[in-house]
């Protein structure tokens, strides 16, 4: 016997091979709900219920309207299930559209702007601003604040430039007091060095330093730090060169404040027979040329399109317009072989440096037949300070510069340099320096702007021996985030830049490395309130 159920499940057939009957067919009444329909319904619910659960959970977690009824939940779930967005999304989309329209719209002249965001919100409530009006006023406010901040930044840079170019009252007082002391105190006029020590000034067995400055306080720190850091101070000879107006005060300081056993000589530029107008005609032209003097001493804002420059570029231009760059003292290092004809090797120092380690090993460095031992400024951890190449100093759109120089060539630092004067005298470095200065004057300063380093980079080309960067650390006068641990390790730290340690704009955390060599018990320092 066999039992067969029809696919529709509506009939039942019984069949047999028995001879009495072949088969029997029984019809079944249709059910109220078919099993197939029930199966499909269960399948669809199994697919949809997880999504309904997730949407319900999202609405609950969002808690935007805090739905507490089936009706509210339906209003939240309905648009999502139907693929529609809710009102908040539509409002955001509309607001973006308004912002795009306002960004290209002209701001009306005379639009009255609130002074703060709080006032903007208050005006919006009181005047019933629409979204477009609110966006327009907000845009005008932001643009105004940006202009004000930009103008304030340029004003800050100008004030910093004037502060860096001026003489602090305490330093001016110190110079006047010491000059007066020179005229009234015989001890302040005593010969430096004493007559029996004069032969040492040209003795190459000693370590000779050259310092050219008109800043008495800065000179005192350079000399004191060198002597205190030296393992053999009795071998140190300092040749301090200053200008005519500062000579009396500078001489008084070192006559009254001995640094024995080191030796100090103080001379004015007018005391060097070699420094005549015939020998330095280019520098006389630099100092007297009307256009040059106007560039360095004139109105630095006039002619400058501040709307098309950045504060960083403007700061760089201001720094290049420091009056010191046309001072004879600043150019003096190019004449060292003639000023010290009996010396074979000297170390030239800027007045904004501090010596923290014995420098006597510098005299043992092999310069391999080169003239200038210097730290290169295109290699090092500090990308801001140690990334200087020739392109940073020269205008390579000028045909002469483009023809003779490589923009990617590494630059080197002035401020602590070992000069082999014997080798130097066999070169034409000074003549090259003069010729390029003349060419730049003739081109209206279109080849370079920044002082004495650019012509030196050209004149010493092929004559520079790189020395280890630990000998000379730069950037303490323009980078506030200088690594303090690296400062402690450096042999010489250089406050190049506007923020000199003797100025109020100097960086407070870097100043102690300089002030530690000031003698605050000195009567002149105390009476002039130096950095009090």
> How far out from the chain centre does Cα 337 lie?
36
As a whole number of angstroms, the distance between CA 206 and CA 204 comes to 5
Q: Tell me: the pLDDT tens digits for 442-494?
A: 888 889 876 789 999 999 999 999 999 999 999 999 888 899 999 999 999 99
Whole-model pTM?
Answer: 0.74
Say what percent of the chain tops pLDDT 70: 75
Evaluate whether 241 touches 268 at the Cβ level (below 8 Å).
yes
Between strands 236-242 and 207-212, the pairing is parallel
Place of tokens 């650019």: 454
If residue 292 lies in a helix (H) or strand (E), which one and from where to where?
Answer: helix 290-297
Cross-strand pairs, 2: 15
Which one has a higher pLDDT value, 12 or 147? 147
Output the CA torsion 511→515→520→524 (10° steps): -90
Q: Which residues contact 391 (CB under 8 A, 6 or more apart)?
A: 407, 408
Helices (H), 167-280: 169-184, 216-229, 247-256
Count of beta carbons in the 10 Å neighbourhood of residue 317:
16
Q: Tell me: the pLDDT tens digits for 366-406?
A: 999 999 999 999 987 777 788 899 999 999 999 999 999 99
Can you spell out the DSSP letters for 20-55? S-SEEEEE-PPPSS-HHHHHHHHHHHHHHHHHHHHH
193: preceding bond cis by omega (within 30 degrees): yes
Provide the residue ranges of all domains of the chain, joining segments of one domain with +. Answer: 94-160, 167-526
Q: According to the CATH classification, is domain 167-526 in 2.170.190.11?
A: no
Q: What is the CA radius of gyration of the chain?
A: 41
Place of tokens 């003795």: 203
As a whole number of angstroms, the distance between CA 148 and CA 485 comes to 38
Which one has a higher pLDDT value, 508 or 154? 508
First vs last Cα of the chain: how many Å apart? 121
Task: Give the mean model confidence (pLDDT) for residues 160-188.
Answer: 89
Q: At what angle do helices 169-184 and 216-229 cross, to 10 degrees?
A: 80
**Residue 271: its pLDDT value, please?**
93
CA nearest to 235, candidates 264, 206, 263: 206
User: Which DSSP letter does residue 380 get?
Assistant: S
């Amino acid at each position: 016997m066999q039992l067969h159920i029809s696919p529709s499940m509506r009939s039942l057939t019984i069949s047999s091979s028995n001879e009495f009957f072949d088969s029997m067919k029984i019809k079944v009444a249709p059910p109220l709900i078919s099993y197939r329909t029930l199966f499909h319904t269960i399948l669809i619910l199994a697919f949809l219920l997880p999504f309904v659960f997730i949407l319900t959970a999202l609405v609950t977690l969002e808690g935007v309207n805090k739905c507490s009824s089936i009706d509210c939940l339906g209003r939240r779930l309905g648009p999502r299930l139907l693929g529609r967005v809710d009102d908040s999304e539509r409002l955001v989309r509309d607001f973006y559209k308004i912002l795009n329209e306002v960004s290209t719209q002209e701001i009306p002249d005379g639009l009255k702007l609130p002074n703060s965001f709080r006032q903007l919100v208050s005006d919006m409530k009181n005047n019933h601003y629409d979204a477009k009006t609110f966006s327009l006023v907000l845009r005008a406010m932001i643009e105004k604040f940006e202009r004000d901040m930009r103008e304030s930044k340029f004003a800050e840079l100008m004030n910093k430039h004037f502060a860096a170019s001026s003489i602090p009252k305490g330093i001016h007082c110190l110079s006047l007091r010491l000059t007066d002391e020179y005229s009234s105190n015989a001890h302040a006029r005593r010969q430096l060095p004493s007559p029996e020590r004069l032969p040492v000034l040209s003795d190459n067995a000693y370590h000779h330093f050259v310092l050219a400055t008109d800043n008495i306080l800065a000179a005192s720190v350079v000399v004191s730090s060198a002597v205190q850091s030296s393992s053999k101070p009795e071998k140190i000879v300092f040749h301090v060169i200053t200008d005519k107006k500062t000579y009396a005060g500078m001489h008084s300081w070192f006559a009254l404040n001995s640094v024995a056993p080191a030796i100090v000589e103080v001379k004015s530029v007018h005391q060097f027979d070699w420094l005549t107008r015939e020998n330095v005609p280019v520098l006389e032209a630099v100092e007297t040329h009307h256009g040059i003097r106007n560039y360095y001493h004139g109105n630095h804002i006039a002619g400058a399109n501040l709307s098309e420059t950045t504060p960083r570029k403007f700061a760089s231009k201001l720094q290049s317009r420091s009056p010191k760059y046309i001072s004879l003292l600043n150019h003096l290092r190019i004449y060292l072989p003639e000023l010290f004809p009996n010396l074979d090797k000297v170390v030239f120092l800027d007045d904004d440096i501090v010596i923290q380690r014995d420098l006597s090993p510098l005299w043992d460095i092999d310069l391999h037949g080169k003239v200038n031992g210097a730290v290169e400024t295109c290699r090092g951890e500090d990308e801001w300070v140690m990334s200087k190449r020739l392109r940073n100093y020269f205008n390579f759109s000028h045909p002469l510069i483009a023809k003779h120089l490589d923009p990617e060539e590494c630059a080197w630092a002035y401020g602590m340099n070992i000069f082999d004067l014997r080798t130097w005298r066999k070169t034409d470095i000074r003549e090259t320096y003069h010729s390029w200065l003349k060419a730049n004057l003739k081109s209206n300063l279109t080849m370079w702007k920044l002082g004495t380093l650019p012509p030196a980079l050209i004149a010493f080309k092929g004559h520079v021996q790189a020395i280890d960067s630990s000998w000379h650390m730069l950037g303490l006068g323009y980078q506030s985030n200088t690594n303090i641990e690296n400062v402690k390790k450096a042999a010489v730290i250089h406050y190049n830049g506007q923020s000199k340690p003797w100025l109020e704009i100097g960086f407070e955390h870097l100043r102690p490395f300089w002030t530690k060599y000031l003698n605050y018990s000195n009567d002149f320092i105390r009476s002039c309130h130096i950095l009090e």
